[in-house]
Amino acid sequence: MNVYNGKGGHEVGRLPSQKACEKHHSKRRRHVVVFTDGCALGNPGPGGWAYVMRNGRYKKKESKGYYHTTNNRMELMAVIAALESIRDQHADVDIYTDSQYVARAFTEGWIRKWRASNFAKRPNADLWRRLDALTDRLRVQFHWIQGHSGIPENEQCDRMAKQAACHPQQDDRGYTT
């Protein structure tokens, strides 16, 4: 599978095992691994996001559905919700997403240019501002993974996001047509 290596290129390899992550990060900061996904049925239409997070033996998963939104907003919301749930201000966080829209903003440095313009004329500026503030608080590295490629946590997020989209519970207040 292809994974962004954080330098704009690709690495071909396997995702690190939990044991390898724990060993690598045990003497430094807390290491959190997060998988995210978002979807919209109709785009725009009902949408949902989901994340699966693991930190050592601790595992957390969450999803939420919205009545009317877009796929890109749900991809962003999945990452935002996951990062907002991390209480350790000094955590190292690896985000695995199948959204090139989200991953490339960070791995290719687009976010710096958007920040310089205060996200002017940027679609989903409300969410990009929230995500930018969260990535300042935590040490976050983004990794792009191919969707529907058999990665269990990504497949789980996909199912959870679709289920949430099928049973929306709230409005996406930032979405405008």
Give yes or no: 158 in active site: yes
Return the closest-CA partner of residue 138 out of 55, 17, 15: 55
Q: Which of 37, 92, 94, 153 is catalytic?
A: 37
Q: Which of 31, 75, 92, 143 is catalytic?
A: 75
Q: Which of 38, 47, 48, 65 is catalytic?
A: 38
For residue 138, what are the CA distances in angstroms to 30, 43, 135? 11, 31, 5
Give yes or no: 37 in active site: yes
Whole-angstrom Cα distance, residue 177 to residue 157? 26
Q: Which of 92, 94, 153, 158 is catalytic?
A: 158
Give yes or no: 92 in active site: no
Please give the structure tokens belonging to residue 27.
Answer: 């003497």
Give yes or no: 171 in active site: no
Q: Before 44, cis peptide (omega within 30)?
A: yes
Give yes or no: 98 in active site: yes
Q: Which of 94, 98, 153, 172 is catalytic?
A: 98
Give yes or no: 167 in active site: no
Active site residues: 37-38, 75, 98, 148, 158
